Amino acid sequence: MPSNRRSLIALAALSCACDPQADGGYRGEPLASFPGYVASAGVGGLEAALLWQRGPPPSTSDQELATRAPVQTGFPARFTLHLYQPPPAAARKTLAPGQVPYARANAGAVPPGVATGFGVPASVGAPAGYGIDANHWIVYLPSDVPPGSLMEWWLGKALPAGFHLLRVSAVDCFPAAQLAACVADLARRGVVDDGTGNPGTALSFCRAPYRLSLAPPDEDLVLNLALGPGGAGGCPP
């Protein structure tokens, strides 16, 4: 056999041996993965899901299913949500003109079969009777957040582009001095301060009933089917 023919056969065999055979369900490498668990006992008949929020924060009444994951048996019942696609256009928002866009999502517990399959987004309402992790948001940023911006204040940090797990703390107490300091801070960041609480003003952002902070790298999503997120309890007397 000529040497060049032997070489071609050897190369063909090597190519066949090394070429991975992906099955029809292979989705590629995930863009991001978020582990979590269901804190409630007696879990059954549900799946974990990631729900992109299309309404203004902190609402959860207009959602689009991004991905689902089976909930393992046991206590706590664990799951891992893998994101294979960027957020849909309907979930991408801006706090104000010129700010870095963002998209936010919540983990929720949904009935099996909400979506018919991967790659077919399904619009779903609030998962009443199931549960949602209102204490965490998954936020997507298409570009880095500049220091000194409104987005830096809102996120609690000038985060880089990508997916981030954030803690959401409920706030319903706004002492006058704290509110004034917040408004002054946002005015220095270029946010309009016209003395009103109209949408888009410094006062409207400072009165938002929540605050965000970056979650530690090892923090889990938590679905508690029995209890809702705790409030701040109002201002002290």
The pLDDT, as a whole number, for residue 87 is 97
The pLDDT, as a whole number, for residue 116 is 40
As given in the structure block, the two tokens for residue 28 are 């590629």
User: In angstroms, rounded to a whole number, what is the distance separating the alpha carbons of residues 59 and 123?
Assistant: 15
Residue 228, domain member (yes or no): no
Which residue ranges of the chain lie beneath pLDDT 70? 1-26, 41-44, 113-130, 226-234, 236-237
- My answer on whether 200 and 156 are in the same domain is no
- My answer on whether 160 and 181 are in the same domain is no
Contacts of 59 (CB under 8 A, 6+ apart): 53
Residue 19, domain member (yes or no): no
Count of domains in the chain? 2
- My answer on whether 117 and 195 are in the same domain is no
Give 151-170 pLDDT, tens digit per residue. 999 999 999 999 999 999 99
Residue 2, domain member (yes or no): no
3-state secondary structure of 10: helix
> Taking a C-beta distance cutoff of 8 angstroms, is the pair 56, 102 a contact?
no
As given in the structure block, the two tokens for residue 21 are 């055979």
As given in the structure block, the two tokens for residue 13 are 């065999």
- My answer on whether 93 and 183 are in the same domain is no
- My answer on whether 143 and 183 are in the same domain is no
From the CA atom positions of the chain, what is the Rg in Å?
Answer: 23
- My answer on whether 111 and 219 are in the same domain is yes
Residue 237, domain member (yes or no): no
- My answer on whether 121 and 43 are in the same domain is yes
Q: Using the 8-state DSSP alphabet, how is residue 209 labeled?
A: S
Peptide bond just before 76 cis, omega within 30 deg: yes
Residue 21, domain member (yes or no): no
Residue 118, domain member (yes or no): yes
Query: Degrees (nearest 5) of the Cα angle 92, 112, 217?
Result: 50
Residue 16, domain member (yes or no): no
Residue 57, domain member (yes or no): yes
- My answer on whether 113 and 184 are in the same domain is no
As given in the structure block, the two tokens for residue 105 are 């999502």
The pLDDT, as a whole number, for residue 19 is 35
Query: Global pTM?
Result: 0.81
- My answer on whether 72 and 99 are in the same domain is yes
**Residue 186: domain span:** 172-207
- My answer on whether 68 and 165 are in the same domain is yes
> Which H or E run contains 232?
none
Query: Rounded to the nearest 5°, which phi and psi values hold at 11?
Result: -65, -40
DSSP string spanning 139-187? EEESSPPPTTSHHHHHHTS-PPSEEEEEEEEE-----HHHHHHHHHHHH
- My answer on whether 160 and 50 are in the same domain is yes
- My answer on whether 73 and 163 are in the same domain is yes
